[in-house]
């Protein structure tokens, strides 16, 4: 058995988690995921200011105590904190180890940085272009004696799959084993989201400070998800289901090493805080690698007007009309949203107030900066009664745009740099298969007819949502077989469009995952140009699922 833990789900996660995981119980490997789509843009801007940067500086600070703890406990560390500069982070770790009197073999993985090939990708003005590499480079570093492995952009699951490949000597053709490890990696990658964090039914568990997850991986790729004893949160079929659905789509979940058949995954509660994950089928990976592209899209700003008391709609209309004449050069993109947070006959001023938000974007910084702020402030004595803002307008800020491209895997120089400085070229998979959607599985038998009651969907179903570039992913699962039969027949695409009107004019796909009692939706274009562009109130669709759960449907009383 190989025990792999996680101590970071994003750049900015709990700083103390590395120490907690290293001291909380036995581990063989500790991983950390730092690279979201937005993070790559942040690191690219760091690198613009200083070419020696471009990595997750937080991880280096965590290793001031973590290196010695890991060495004393013989725990290997695998992280993607190298970001856009894994070589420099590896050097910094060696320097840190030397300062502490430690000898720590450090390896790193390169080849993901495709910015020098920007012209081949058909994009101008890129700040970063990174291929999503697989796990075999990590495995080569570990086989070469590395105690710490630093990567740039690899798939999140590769941080778990790589150590498993090295430990069990899996080959590229061991697709079921690779798929099982990739599934465990996907469950672990977002840290405490697998142990009760962001969980729909959070009131059922102690989630004040959830522990971080661990996968006990076996030679056949099966695993048990757990956590250190005595830590908060919970590991249940529900918490694991929620993370499995997070930011996935159809039954085929592609990666550079293997395509996971999510429709084969079965979960079983094996005991308190122990969920078995098996079996999992794997198929050959697609021939192309995904490439994440980040560029600056222009400048943005926002002003929030507070509207209090009576005539909220009329006050909002007045502001819009005043602004239409106030700006000599209006920004290219203006978006007004009115949040009716006000209550009638309210006993506090705040609860009597609504928020009118103006968000502007333009390629020219001047059109979203001082002129916008001046136009807002000049209305102070000439606008609606009770005029005030949540904060003084600031200068415009740059925003980023995320896009995806694809390149043949054989054109990417995936390389493992071993602790002694030697390199190992990682070949692309010999066998690949074009990614094609599966035929939808048959629907379960519909539930028997009976009395219904109008109630929130969230009383009988959980949900978790997130972003993939400009698209939103929304997974919904039932807690019982009867609930699944009702959910599968009820929560169709037309019903989703009605419940979430923002999706009404957008392409929506629905995927059924019967073993997980789940339906998974992809809403194309809901997030515009991605989280960096900040075009939506919830730019990463993190709360889209909770909005859906709050919507009312006619639900069978037998389920309630």
94 touches 147 (CB < 8 A): no
The C-alpha atoms of residue 338 and residue 355 are separated, in whole angstroms, by 6
Token pair recorded at residue 266: 């079965």
What gap in Å lies between CA 493 and CA 51, rounded to an integer? 47
User: Distances in Å between the alpha carbon of 450 and those of 36, 495, 555, 556?
Assistant: 46, 20, 10, 7
For the residues 337-356, what does the mean pLDDT come to? 96
Residue 388 to residue 117: CA distance in whole angstroms: 50
pLDDT on residue 268: 98
The answer, yes or no, to whether residue 119 has pLDDT greater than 90, is no
With cut-offs at 50, 70 and 90, classify the pLDDT of residue 530: confident
Name the CA dihedral angle for 483, 485, 489, 490, rounded to a multiple of 10 degrees. Answer: -10
Residues in the chain, how many?
Answer: 560
Q: 51: pLDDT confidence band, cut at 50, 70 and 90?
A: very high
- Bond into 417 cis (ω within 30): no
Share of the chain residues as helix, strand and coil, in percent rounded to the nearest 5: 30, 30, 40
Task: For the chain, give the mean pLDDT.
Answer: 95
Residue 528 pLDDT grade (very low, low, confident, very high; cuts 50, 70, 90): confident
pTM, full prediction: 0.94
Encode pLDDT of 80-92 as tens digits: 999 999 999 999 9
Best-predicted range by mean pLDDT (37-51, 271-285, 394-408):
271-285
Q: What pLDDT, on a 0 to 100 scale, did the predictor assign at position 120?
A: 85
Could you give the CA distance from residue 1 to residue 413 in angstroms, rounded to a whole number? 32
Express each pLDDT in 67-81 by its tens digit: 999 999 999 999 999
d(CA 144, CA 167): 12
370 band by pLDDT with thresholds 50, 70 and 90: confident
- Tell me the mean pLDDT in the region 451-460: 98
Cα 137 from Cα 414, distance rounded (Å): 7
Residue closest to 238 by CA, chosen among 189, 187, 288, 170: 187
**CB < 8 Å & 24+ apart, contacts of 368-371:** 368/299, 368/300, 368/301, 368/331, 368/396, 369/299, 369/301, 369/395, 369/396, 370/395, 371/327, 371/328, 371/329
508 token code pair: 């929506």
Mean pLDDT value across residues 133-150:
98
Which segments within 409-505 are labelled E, that is strand? Answer: 415-417, 423-425, 452-456, 461-468, 471-478
Q: Give pLDDT, residue 469.
A: 86
Residue with tokens 């965590």: 62
As given in the structure block, the two tokens for residue 461 are: 């179903």
CA distances from 338 to 330, 332, 335, 354, 533 (A): 20, 20, 10, 7, 20
pLDDT digits (tens, 9 = 90+) for 532-557: 667 778 889 999 999 999 999 999 99
Q: How far apart are the first and last CA of the chain?
A: 42
Residue 539 confidence (pLDDT): 87
Three-state DSSP state, 29: strand
What is the mean pLDDT of the segment spanning 151-160?
Answer: 98
Residue 531: pLDDT above 80? Answer: no
* Confidence at residue 335, expressed as pLDDT on a 0 to 100 scale: 93
Contact in structure between 236 and 282 (CB atoms under 8 Å): no
Confidence of residue 38 (pLDDT cuts 50, 70, 90): confident
Q: What is the pLDDT of residues 304-334, one digit of tens each?
A: 999 999 999 999 999 999 999 988 889 999 9
pLDDT of 412 > 80? The answer is yes
* 216-268 per-position pLDDT tens digit: 999 999 999 999 999 999 999 999 999 999 999 899 999 999 999 999 999 99
């Amino acid at each position: 058995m190989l025990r792999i833990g996680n101590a970071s789900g994003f750049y900015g996660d709990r700083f103390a988690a590395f120490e907690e995981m290293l001291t909380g119980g036995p581990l063989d490997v500790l991983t950390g995921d730092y690279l979201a789509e937005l993070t790559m843009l942040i690191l690219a801007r760091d690198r613009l200011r200083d070419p020696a940067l471009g990595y997750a500086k937080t991880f280096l600070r965590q290793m001031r105590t973590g290196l010695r703890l890991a060495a004393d406990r013989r725990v290997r560390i695998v992280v993607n904190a190298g970001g856009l500069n894994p070589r420099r982070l590896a050097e910094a770790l060696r320097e840190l180890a030397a300062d502490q009197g430690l000898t720590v073999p450090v390896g790193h993985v390169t080849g993901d940085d495709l910015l020098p090939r920007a012209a081949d990708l058909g994009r101008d003005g890129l700040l970063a272009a990174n291929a999503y590499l697989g796990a075999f480079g990590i495995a080569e570093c570990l086989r070469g004696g590395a105690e710490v492995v630093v990567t740039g952009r690899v798939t999140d699951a590769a941080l778990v799959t790589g150590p498993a490949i090295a430990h069990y000597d899996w080959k590229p053709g061991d697709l079921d084993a690779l798929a099982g490890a990739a599934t465990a990696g996907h469950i672990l990658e977002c840290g405490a989201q697998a142990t009760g964090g962001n969980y729909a039914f959070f009131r059922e568990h102690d989630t004040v400070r959830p522990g971080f997850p661990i996968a006990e991986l076996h030679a056949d790729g099966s695993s048990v998800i757990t956590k250190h004893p005595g830590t908060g949160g919970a590991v249940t079929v529900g918490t694991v289901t929620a993370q499995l659905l997070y930011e996935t789509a159809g039954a085929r979940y592609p990666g550079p090493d293997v395509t996971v058949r999510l429709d084969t995954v079965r979960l079983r509660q094996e005991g308190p805080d122990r969920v078995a994950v098996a079996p999992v089928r794997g198929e050959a990976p697609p021939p192309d690698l995904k490439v994440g592209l980040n560029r600056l899209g222009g400048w943005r700003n926002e002003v929030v007007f507070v509207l209090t008391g009576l005539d909220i709609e009329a006050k909002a209309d007045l502001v819009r009309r005043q602004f239409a004449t106030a700006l000599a050069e209006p920004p290219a993109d203006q978006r007004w949203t009115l949040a009716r947070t006000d209550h009638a006959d309210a006993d506090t001023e705040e609860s009597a107030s609504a928020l009118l938000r103006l968000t502007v974007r333009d390629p020219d910084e001047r059109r979203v900066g001082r002129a916008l702020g001046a136009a807002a402030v000049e209305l102070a004595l000439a606008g609606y009664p009770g005029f005030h803002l949540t904060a003084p307008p600031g200068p415009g800020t740059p925003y980023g745009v995320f896009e995806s491209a694809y390149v043949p895997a054989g054109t990417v120089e995936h390389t493992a740099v071993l602790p002694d400085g030697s390199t190992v070229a990682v070949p692309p998979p010999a066998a690949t298969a074009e990614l094609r959607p599966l035929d939808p599985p048959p629907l379960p038998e519909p539930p028997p007819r009976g009395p219904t009651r109008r109630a929130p969907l969230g009383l009988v179903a959980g949900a978790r949502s997130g972003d993939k570039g400009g698209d939103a992913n929304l997974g919904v699962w039932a807690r019982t077989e009867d609930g699944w039969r009702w959910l599968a027949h009820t929560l169709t695409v037309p019903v989703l469009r009605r419940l979430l009107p923002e999706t009404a004019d957008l392409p929506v796909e629905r995927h059924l995952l019967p073993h997980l009692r789940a339906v998974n939706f992809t809403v194309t274009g809901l997030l515009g140009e991605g989280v960096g562009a900040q075009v939506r109130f919830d730019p990463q669709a993190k709360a889209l699922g909770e909005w859906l759960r709050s919507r009312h449907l006619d639900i069978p009383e037998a389920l309630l």
